[in-house]
Amino acid sequence: MANIADLLSQYGLLKQMAHFLSALDLFHLALTNPVLYTLICKSKTTFDRLKSVALCDGHGLKMRQEFGGIYELRAEDFAWREGRRARYDEELEVRVWNLTCDSTNGLSCLRCRVNVCEECRYVPRVRDTPRMYSLPRQHHLAYPRPNNIIFFCAGCDVEVERNLPLSLSEYCDCDQYKRWICLPCKVKEDQIYSKYLETRAKGDREWAGDLEEGMWYHGVVEHIAFWCPCGERAPRGGNIRCSWCKRRHNLNTWKDGDPDWIPFFDEDPCYPRFAVDNMGDQIMYPRLEYNGPIF
């Protein structure tokens, strides 16, 4: 009598089974048996094809519903003025708790190629006040340090440009509301960029060198010198690149766009308009005009 390993050695059956499992389920299945690992994971091409038909695993929505990880309010997100309260809003519990993962209707994450549905992919789910991490183009955020920009030395910059995938535009057009990325990849992406700023960017208070010798950025609080990831000082007048897509920013349109207009929220009739007090902080429970459906 054939066992499961014998059955799944037929690629047609293996692919058919992948339609009913998530990518994580497939990986865990592969770890149960050396033969299954060879069939599922040994060939990257095979595993990528299986992932392309697998289900969304619901992890992103689960983290939203638990207000955990990247969705958790941190200590610095609270203000003590007029009592300790959050500066930012969170998703409405009654709405997020009634959402379900659309496991069969996912698209591939742009990083890991695992299928992820609309409710599980990462996009900002609330409109911050002040509008910081909810900006569609993250390089518009300049406080306290630049965000989503990276600099390379002359040699590395040529190599990066040569290895860019084919695109309709030579310049960055990243909009985080249009990027299809899973939550684990977003967290890893943020960690990598934080490490870049930690090791390859120094403010004029941390570094006694000459800013004019290379690339520097006029930040809100201080002037910041930048180095290439390889460790060499980025040259003055070099390209400013997006840390996500690695394409150049068009400096002629560097700050184009209205940061107060975010279609993801402004075009959603179900998203309540917020009110702010005279200090610019959001009033958490104001009287709102709300014309959307009741959840």
Query: Would you state the pLDDT for residue 61?
Result: 96
Q: Give the residue from 152, 135, 169 showing the smallest Cα distance to 214.
A: 152
Range of lowest pLDDT (23-27, 84-88, 150-154, 228-232):
84-88
Stretch 246-259: mean pLDDT: 82
> pLDDT digit string (tens) for 199-213?
998 887 777 777 778
Name the helix (H) or strand (E) containing 47.
helix 44-51
Query: Would you state the pLDDT for residue 70?
Result: 87
Average pLDDT for the chain:
84
Of the segments 70-74, 96-100, 254-258, which one has the largest average pLDDT value?
96-100
> Would you call 242 helix, strand, or coil by DSSP?
strand
Query: Would you state the pLDDT for residue 282?
Result: 61
Q: At which residue do the structure tokens 């599980």 appear?
A: 120
Asked if residue 236 lies in contact with residue 212, where contact means CB atoms within 8 angstroms, the answer is: yes
Query: Would you state the pLDDT for residue 152?
Result: 96
Q: Give the residue from 44, 18, 43 showing the smallest Cα distance to 29.
A: 18
Q: Give the residue from 91, 61, 60 showing the smallest Cα distance to 187.
A: 60
Structure-token pair, residue 148: 């989503």
